[in-house]
Amino acid sequence: MSPTILLHQWEISPFCQKAARSLRCKGLAFQTVDYNGLLATRAGRLSKVGKLPVLEIDGQRIQDSTRIARYLDQHHPEPPLYPADPVLHAQAELWEDWADELLYWYEVYLRAYDPAALDQAVRLSCAGRPAAERVPVKLVLRTALRQQLRNQGLGRMPREDVEAEFLRQLDRLETVLTQSDWLVGRSMTIADIAAGSQLLEVDRTSDRMRPQLQRRPHLAAWLSRVKAV
């Protein structure tokens, strides 16, 4: 019997969704341990960094979605998340970094400053937990996200400027996807999983921005392919 693979996750984290999609792409069976509601305070016990996702696999605990993806390619190489060709490999890593380090902040902004999106995020992040937890979770989440955004810089910019720049990012993706079904090469890679996981969180929490995703046909079709994984 194969050892159980556990993914410790927070439901609304795009990085946890990235790790889960990486596992599914590999065809690996796994179980999730959700830290919804106030259980999120326990996540700090899992690793020195104290963040999710954390993957328990092969007797190890691996923290960080990128480290998880690299580990999976090293120990479960088929199908690959990172292309073998050095140029395509580098392109996939560039897209992954763009998604994790830039696109992520727009997803956070749209969640933190849109009351309806924040309410939806709180509902999802408290699934399976007592209803009374929603109030403190919402307060902590809104405060933490807005402080992070102020420190990062987007939280100091006018809302219309932030949203206009986010739409420009979508237009760039739409342009790239007119040439191919995938961001790098001819099959899904970590580039698609990383970027798609960020935008799929926008899709399921932001009623205001969901139409923007849907009205770009190549982007919408690509998101459907990523979501299916």
Average pLDDT of every residue of the chain:
96
CATH code for position 13: 3.40.30.10
- Pairwise CA distance, residues 8 & 147, whole Å: 25
Do 116 and 184 fall into the same domain? Answer: yes
Confidence label for 2 from pLDDT (cuts 50, 70 and 90): low
189 in a domain, yes or no? Answer: yes
Confidence label for 50 from pLDDT (cuts 50, 70 and 90): confident
Identify the pLDDT of residue 47: 79
| Domain boundaries, position 63 | 6-75
Identify the pLDDT of residue 44: 83
Cα 114 versus chain centre, distance: 19
Is the dihedral angle over the CA atoms 134, 136, 137, 141 positive or is it negative?
A: positive
pLDDT exceeding 70 applies to what percent of the chain? Answer: 99
166 in a domain, yes or no? Answer: yes
Confidence label for 100 from pLDDT (cuts 50, 70 and 90): very high
Q: Count structural domains, the chain.
A: 2
Identify the pLDDT of residue 43: 86
Residue 1, pLDDT above cutoff 60: no
Do 69 and 169 fall into the same domain? Answer: no
CA neighbor of 8 nearest in space, from 51, 38, 41 = 51
218 in a domain, yes or no? Answer: yes
Q: Could you say which of 75, 99, 128 is where a domain stops?
A: 75
80 in a domain, yes or no? Answer: no
> Measured between alpha carbons, how far is residue 122 from residues 12, 125, 131, 138, 162 in Å?
9, 5, 11, 6, 22
Q: Could you say which of 51, 75, 99 is where a domain stops?
A: 75
Do 158 and 50 fall into the same domain? Answer: no
Do 150 and 190 fall into the same domain? Answer: yes
Residues 6+ apart with CB under 8 A from 62: 54, 55, 68, 71
Do 27 and 54 fall into the same domain? Answer: yes
pLDDT in tens, 135-193: 999 999 999 999 999 999 999 999 999 999 999 999 999 999 999 999 999 999 999 99
Backbone dihedral region for residue 50 (phi beyond 0: left; psi -120 to 50: alpha; all else: beta): left
Q: Hey, what are 70's tokens?
A: 């690299």
Confidence label for 45 from pLDDT (cuts 50, 70 and 90): confident
142 in a domain, yes or no? Answer: yes
Do 92 and 202 fall into the same domain? Answer: yes
Do 117 and 51 fall into the same domain? Answer: no
Do 52 and 101 fall into the same domain? Answer: no
145 in a domain, yes or no? Answer: yes
Do 49 and 25 fall into the same domain? Answer: yes
Q: Hey, what are 191's tokens?
A: 């580039």
Do 33 and 145 fall into the same domain? Answer: no
Do 94 and 198 fall into the same domain? Answer: yes
91 in a domain, yes or no? Answer: yes
Do 153 and 56 fall into the same domain? Answer: no
CATH code for position 147: 1.20.1050.10
